[in-house]
Amino acid sequence: MSYAANSRNSPEEGIILKGTGYGLRMIFSEDPPEEELFSSLRRLSAEVPVLSGNLGVVLDFQGRPLTRAFILRLLSEFVWPGNIRVLSWICLDGETMNNLRSMGAATGEPVPERTGRGEKSASGSLILHRSLRSGQRVEHDGDILIIGHVNDGAEVFASGSICVWGRLKGTAHAGLDGGEEHTVVAGLFEAAQVRLGSKVSASLGSGMEWWGKPVIITCENNSLIVRELQL
């Protein structure tokens, strides 16, 4: 599916809608002024009813830097009134990404859900049957179980524990809300850093005896402990 909102107007003011594996991607052209984007958005909301359906939407601003005011306006005039389920905000501008993260917005490339996989279990855990690639990020309120690898440059954030069945090379942050009773478990540990609650590990490397082995990481007596996992 592909729908160009700009078909009747100059292509510069456009928003392009694309169907993808995870839902819809709205790609905002970089040049048009804010006002034009908002009028395109109003037209789109009226013409494309699926936008406010159950489908997740990724907002992709390409290289356009966004001010906080713009983000708030987008939320109050488009996202909230339209009941849009935003999966993630994407922007190539670093400052904007920092702004979005500090506002608590989900960022990064979403992970396409495969039918019957990547489902929330009854207990509120997220089970993902695939690997995460560099630049991909998963965040979940609960425990996360990844039946796959977490590659270098990928990120996993959980308010509960994180278990990576395969190799953990990217960033894992368990106990996001500060809870330090959680654990990080990896089938093969090769991450330069790991975070648990408010604790951040020193930079880790191949010198450690458990490097490249299965590990369990806990917080004990206020410090991070990494142990080889022996079953």
Name the site residues for another protein (rule: CB under 8 A). Answer: 2, 4, 6, 11, 14, 16, 18, 20-22, 25, 27, 29-31, 62-63, 92, 109-110, 112, 114, 129-131, 133-136, 147-149, 151-153, 166
Tell the smallest beta-carbon distance from residue 179 to another protein (Å): 29
> Of the two residues 23 and 175, which places its CB atom closer to another protein in the complex?
23
Report angle CA 172, 182, 157 to the nearest 5 degrees.
30
Minimum distance, C-beta of residue 228 to another protein, in the bound complex (Å): 21
Closest to another protein by CB, 63 or 124: 63
**Closer to another protein at the Cβ: 63 or 81?**
63
Based on CB atoms, which residue is closest to another protein, 55 or 75? 55
Considering the complex, what minimum distance in angstroms separates the CB of residue 131 from another protein? 6
Nearer to another protein, 16 or 204 (CB): 16
Minimum CB–partner distance for residue 155 and another protein (Å): 12
Phi/psi-derived region of residue 168, left when phi > 0, alpha when psi is between -120 and 50, beta in every other case: beta
Torsion of CA 32, 107, 87, 66, to 10 degrees: -20
Measured from the CB of residue 191, what is the shortest distance to another protein in angstroms?
A: 14
Phi, psi torsion values for 24, nearest 5 degrees: -110, 145
Question: Of 151 and 201, which has the nearer Cβ to another protein?
Answer: 151
Q: Minimum distance between the CB of residue 26 and another protein, rounded to whole angstroms?
A: 12
